[in-house]
Amino acid sequence: MGRDTKAPACLHHEAAEAVSSLFQGKGLSLTTNVPEDLEVHCDRVRIRQVILNLLRNAGRFPAEGGAEVSAQVDGANVIVRVSDTGPGIAVDKVPRLFEPFQQGDPSIRRRHGGTGLGLAISKRLVELHDGRIW
């Protein structure tokens, strides 16, 4: 994949800044809870794109509240979470979310836009880093 660098925790700040207008425009909050000294060996550009994809989704669906990006070290792994106050996804629809051109609800494209590729691309990028996304 190239560009393997030691990425500081500021990646989440960069991604949050990139989507801040989406959140502000809807009156939503966006908080981060990531240790400032966290460093991860990764392709900085690709992992930033994953975080951006997740935050864009987290900002598209809530009508109120907002989203949070957090990270924690779990042994040799880093777990990154993006959570939001959106309506949620039916359990039976979750497996489809990471397939290309799929969305949890077919009417989403009409109401919120999107192609259904963001999570599929994110999944592939995470897997190329020997990680998993769920």
**Would the pLDDT of 6 be above 80?**
no
Helix spans in 1-134 (H) = 11-25, 44-60, 108-112, 118-128
Region 127-133 average pLDDT? 95
pLDDT tens-digit profile of 35-50? 988 888 899 999 999 9
Residue 27 to residue 63: CA distance in whole angstroms: 9
pTM: 0.81
What integer best gives the mean pLDDT of the chain?
85
Region 119-124 average pLDDT? 95
Q: What percent of the chain has pLDDT over 90?
A: 54
